[in-house]
């Protein structure tokens, strides 16, 4: 096997069998263990070919053509034998049922799985509870209980608990749900998404109100202005990436088994819509290995798809399900999710920019072939083994489609750690960085260079260790004259690519995917709320089933590596220049020494400077000016307004505290209050504005992996460390 050093590190940390903390399994032995275990399912059908299929499955993985989801690699052939990555559990509106769901989630997390929940059936906060005469605490309150339970469950150091929390946009508690993760210390084990309905989206377009429905009664009890709710979702996502959104009616339109009920939730990364108690087994083909003679080798790809579909169907039979209800649902629908990884690497090999309609066309062509071929493979399995039991009454039967073995066959999942094992780019994401720093022993840093970029750089004669280190610091080669223009055009990274192209690529894959597509639209730190709104709107217009955005540096714990895109000599951040023209407001605030006049100015990127002047009553003019100057350069260096406010508010001054009628505790506290007022009053955005491509550029901002300290990136609706394989979502 040709495994990179990084791949072996990830395998040793997270996948290979250990005894007393010591690795006692080689990568080859792991793949042999998995292949032989999954081939045991052949005994249920034609056991004579078991060894033949075991060998094919082994070749499938050791060639790095295909990887199953992480729980299959970790657990197949071992005592746990829990092979599924994602589950959805119902949350019903009674105390007994709520805590049943918490118990079931704990069992799933203990086995290494992630869980999705819809909290839309829970009665709203302050609604009546007839059995006790009290009032309900509402969905967000119970989400905190679920979060605490997840925190308490340990998973042996291989996979951590991860949850998706979803609430319908027409639930009466929707506003508190939207702001539930405003504090990054809250709901730390949850991703959250708002389930948007067609009715809501039409109300936003028409700029009208929509009804909020009490799930206990099924009756409309109030209404909200749709545009204002949309703006709040946009603002929250702009601030820290959450909530994401899913288009619930669109998901249910593609529900293959509507006779069993409606889909209410997805798995933690959003790519797998599931009915209550369903689970799904996922796997990804490394499409970068199928580039041949300037195109895709579809003949070999067809062969691999057929083997991969059989592998995933076998996983269903070999799985040890944590709950009997889950086993019944999974065996009834037999959903599998075959997707891809290495799309960005394939584009690089083909000389196609990610941000081009040529890439969009290839995405459609490629996924149409995978969907068609995987369905054909599933139909062949149905002839051999029988259709999935719930086929009767299914959408497939209603449409007159031939019986399939699996209710769904395709999903685009995040492939963070398995793509590291396969030494390829993650999922359908663009390259996050061409060069990056990886922490090695004794806190030394090693510059990792993308192998395709290194190859081109050497062939074209511009490779040097110094240049690669500079690129690692910058995060991008755009604008670097040392790199030829045609190379800069092809080797684009996530932050070089306008959000418009992120969404176009996601929509292209979604068009031919049974389930959904996991993708993060990465935005630069100076992206505006309008940019986020454009992403949400474009995703809806192009047929996506959901979308997640992440604006660099928008979470408190993220450490910015760049400000204006240029690093200062010896490290640090260079603030972007003051704009020539700004607009703003001046507010008079009473302080202990008289009056303080505070001006807050903005440009197209948001608040960019603060000025202060004291009135005739005097005051600490020099200190106020110093504070406002430091605040201004912090704003133009990419420091979040929230972080600045947090540092300034509550600072105490004796003159302010002792003087009656003064409502601030100091001049810095006054600046914080005026900043917050202006920040919260940022202009709203309208759905009708956004039909043109989005144009925001930017540079990379990095955060650190909690396990190894290396750079971490946001992709596939989650976070992944390129060095050790750490993932926030398990």
Asked whether 475 and 433 are in contact (CB, 8 A), the reply is yes
Show the CA angle centred on residue 635, arms to residues 629 and 640, nearest 5°: 135
pLDDT given for residue 487 in this prediction: 97
For residues 272 and 250, what is the distance between their CA atoms, to the nearest angstrom?
13
pLDDT given for residue 321 in this prediction: 95
The mean-pLDDT minimum among 348-362, 443-457, 524-538, 638-652 falls in 638-652
Residue 708 CA, distance from chain mean position: 21
Asked whether 539 and 547 are in contact (CB, 8 A), the reply is yes
If pLDDT is split at 50, 70 and 90, which confidence band does 55 have? very high
pLDDT given for residue 658 in this prediction: 76
pLDDT given for residue 569 in this prediction: 45
Give me the chain's average pLDDT, please.
89
pLDDT given for residue 441 in this prediction: 55
Whether the pLDDT of residue 621 is over 50: the answer is yes
Annotated catalytic residue 269: yes
pLDDT given for residue 82 in this prediction: 94
pLDDT given for residue 567 in this prediction: 46
pLDDT given for residue 343 in this prediction: 98
Query: Which residue from 614, 584, 611, 609 is spatially nearest to 596, judged by alpha carbons?
Result: 614
Burial zone of 326 (CB within 10 Å; 0-12 exposed, 13-18 middle, 19+ buried): buried
149: left (phi over 0), alpha (psi -120 to 50) or beta: alpha
Show the CA angle centred on residue 485, arms to residues 479 and 488, nearest 5°: 65
pLDDT given for residue 646 in this prediction: 75
| β-pair partners for 168 | 195
For residues 517 and 546, what is the distance between their CA atoms, to the nearest angstrom?
8
| β-pair partners for 353 | none
Whether the pLDDT of residue 574 is over 80: the answer is no
If pLDDT is split at 50, 70 and 90, which confidence band does 513 have? very high
Whether the pLDDT of residue 712 is over 70: the answer is yes
Q: Which residue has the higher pLDDT, 125 or 568?
A: 125
If pLDDT is split at 50, 70 and 90, which confidence band does 719 have? confident
Active-site annotation holder among 75, 191, 255, 267? 267
Q: What is the pLDDT of residues 160-175, one digit of tens each?
A: 668 999 999 999 999 9
Active-site annotation holder among 36, 242, 264, 271? 271
Residue 531 in tokens: 């940019």
Q: Which fold has domain 86-266?
A: Anaerobic Ribonucleotide-triphosphate Reductase Large Chain (3.20.70)
Whether the pLDDT of residue 32 is over 60: the answer is yes
Q: Which residues contact 665 (CB under 8 A, 6 or more apart)?
A: 650, 651, 652, 653, 656, 657
Residue 104 CA, distance from chain mean position: 24
Q: Could you tell me what percent of the chain has a pLDDT over 90?
A: 67
Task: Kindly state the greatest CA–CA separation across the chain.
Answer: 96
Whether the pLDDT of residue 58 is over 50: the answer is yes
Q: How would you write 214-231 as a 3-class SS string? A: ECCCCEEEEEEEHHHHHH
Q: Are strands 114-118 and 86-89 parallel, antiparallel or unpaired?
A: parallel
Whether the pLDDT of residue 468 is over 90: the answer is yes
Q: What is the pLDDT of residues 645-704, one digit of tens each?
A: 878 988 988 888 878 888 888 889 889 999 888 876 655 444 444 433 443 333 333 466
The mean-pLDDT minimum among 206-220, 226-240, 441-455, 502-516 falls in 441-455
pTM for this prediction: 0.81
Q: Which residue has the higher pLDDT, 425 or 572?
A: 425
Q: What is the mean pLDDT of residues 531-555?
A: 94
Active-site annotation holder among 36, 75, 189, 269? 269
Q: What is the mean pLDDT of residues 137-166?
A: 83
pLDDT given for residue 342 in this prediction: 98
For residues 25 and 12, what is the distance between their CA atoms, to the nearest angstrom?
9
Please state, as a whole number, how many other Cβ atoms lie within 10 Å of the Cβ of residue 291: 17
If pLDDT is split at 50, 70 and 90, which confidence band does 611 have? confident
For residues 138 and 126, what is the distance between their CA atoms, to the nearest angstrom?
7
Whether the pLDDT of residue 235 is over 60: the answer is yes
Q: What is the mean pLDDT of residues 207-231?
A: 97
Residue 8 in tokens: 């072996």
pLDDT given for residue 166 in this prediction: 98
If pLDDT is split at 50, 70 and 90, which confidence band does 401 have? very high
The mean-pLDDT minimum among 118-132, 201-215, 626-640, 678-692 falls in 678-692
Q: Where are the domains of the chain?
A: 86-266, 433-492, 583-680
Q: Which residue has the higher pLDDT, 374 or 565?
A: 374
The mean-pLDDT minimum among 235-239, 364-368, 572-576 falls in 572-576
Q: What is the pLDDT of residues 197-214, one digit of tens each?
A: 999 999 999 999 999 999
At 448 the three-state DSSP class reads strand
Q: Which residue has the higher pLDDT, 279 or 705?
A: 279
pLDDT given for residue 721 in this prediction: 77
pLDDT given for residue 505 in this prediction: 98
Please state, as a whole number, how many other Cβ atoms lie within 10 Å of the Cβ of residue 470: 16
Show the CA angle centred on residue 592, arms to residues 590 and 598, nearest 5°: 40
Q: What is the mean pLDDT of residues 506-529?
A: 95
């Amino acid at each position: 096997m040709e495994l990179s050093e990084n791949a072996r590190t990830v395998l040793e940390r997270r996948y290979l069998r250990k005894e007393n903390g010591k690795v006692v399994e080689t990568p080859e032995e792991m793949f042999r263990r998995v292949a032989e275990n999954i081939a045991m399912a052949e005994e249920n059908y034609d056991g004579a070919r078991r060894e033949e299929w075991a060998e094919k499955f082994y070749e499938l993985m050791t060639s790095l053509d295909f990887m199953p989801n992480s729980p299959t690699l970790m657990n197949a052939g071992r005592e746990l034998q829990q092979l599924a990555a994602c589950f959805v559990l119902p949350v019903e509106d009674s105390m007994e049922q709520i805590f049943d769901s918490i118990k079931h989630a704990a069992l799933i997390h203990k086995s290494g799985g992630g869980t999705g929940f819809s909290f839309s059936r829970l009665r709203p906060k302050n609604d009546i509870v007839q059995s006790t005469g009290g009032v309900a605490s509402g969905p967000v309150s119970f989400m905190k209980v679920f979060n605490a339970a997840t925190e308490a469950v340990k998973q042996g150091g291989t996979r951590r608990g991860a949850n998706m929390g979803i609430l319908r946009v027409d639930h009466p508690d929707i506003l508190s749900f939207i702001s539930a993760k405003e504090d990054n210390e809250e709901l730390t084990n949850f991703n959250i998404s708002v389930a948007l309905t067609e009715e809501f989206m039409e109300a936003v377009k028409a700029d009208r109100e929509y009804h909020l429905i009490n799930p206990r009664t099924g009756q409309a009890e109030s209404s909200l202005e749709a545009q204002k709710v949309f703006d709040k979702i946009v603002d929250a996502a702009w601030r820290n990436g959450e909530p994401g959104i899913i288009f619930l009616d669109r998901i249910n339109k593609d529900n293959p088994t509507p006779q069993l009920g409606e889909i209410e939730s997805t798995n933690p990364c959003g790519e797998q819509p599931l009915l209550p108690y369903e689970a799904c087994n996922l796997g990804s083909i490394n499409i970068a290995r199928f580039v041949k003679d300037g195109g895709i080798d579809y003949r070999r790809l067809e062969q691999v798809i057929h083997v991969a579909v059989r592998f995933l169907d076998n996983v269903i039979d070999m799985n040890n399900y944590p709950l009997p209800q889950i086993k019944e649902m999974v065996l009834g629908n037999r959903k599998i999710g075959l997707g891809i990884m290495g799309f960005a690497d394939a584009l690089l090999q083909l000389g196609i920019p990610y941000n081009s309609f040529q890439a969009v066309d290839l995405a459609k062509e490629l996924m149409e072939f995978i969907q068609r071929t995987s369905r054909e493979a599933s139909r062949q399995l149905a002839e051999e083994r029988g259709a999935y039991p719930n086929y009767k009454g299914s959408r497939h039967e209603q449409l007159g489609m031939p019986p399939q073995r699996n209710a769904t066959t395709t999903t685009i999942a995040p492939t963070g750690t398995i793509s590291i094992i396969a030494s390829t780019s993650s999922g359908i994401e663009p390259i996050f960085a061409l060069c990056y720093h990886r922490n090695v022993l004794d806190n030394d840093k090693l510059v990792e260079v993308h192998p395709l970029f290194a190859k081109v750089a050497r062939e074209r004669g511009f490779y040097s260790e110094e240049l690669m280190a500079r690129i690692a610091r910058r995060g991008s080669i755009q604008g670097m004259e040392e790199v030829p223009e045609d190379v800069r055009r092809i080797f684009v990274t996530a932050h070089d690519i306008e959000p418009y192209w992120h969404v176009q690529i996601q929509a292209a894959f979604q068009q031919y995917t049974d389930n959904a597509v996991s993708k993060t639209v990465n935005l630069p730190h100076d992206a505006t709320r309008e940019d986020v709104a454009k992403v949400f709107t474009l995703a809806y217009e192009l047929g996506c089933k959901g979308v997640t955005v992440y604006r660099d540096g928008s979470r408190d714990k993220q450490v910015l590596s760049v400000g204006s895109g240029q690093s200062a000599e010896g490290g640090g951040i260079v603030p972007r220049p003051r704009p020539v023209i700004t607009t703003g407001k001046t507010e008079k605030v009473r302080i202990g020494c008289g009056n303080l006049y505070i001006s807050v100015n903005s440009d197209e990127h948001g608040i960019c400077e603060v000025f202060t002047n004291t009135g005739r009553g005097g005051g600490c003019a020099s200190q106020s000016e110093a504070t406002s100057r430091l605040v201004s350069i912090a704003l133009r260096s990419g420091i979040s307004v929230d972080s600045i406010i947090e540092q300034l508010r509550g600072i105490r001054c004796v003159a302010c505290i002792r003087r009656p009628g003064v409502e601030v505790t100091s001049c810095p506290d006054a600046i914080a209050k005026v900043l917050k007022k202006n920040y919260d009053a940022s202009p709203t955005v309208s759905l009708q504005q956004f039909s043109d491509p989005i144009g925001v550029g930017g540079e990379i901002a990095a955060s650190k992996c909690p396990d190894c300290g290396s750079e971490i990136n946001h992709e596939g609706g989650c976070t992944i460390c390129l060095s050790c394989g750490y993932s926030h979502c398990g």
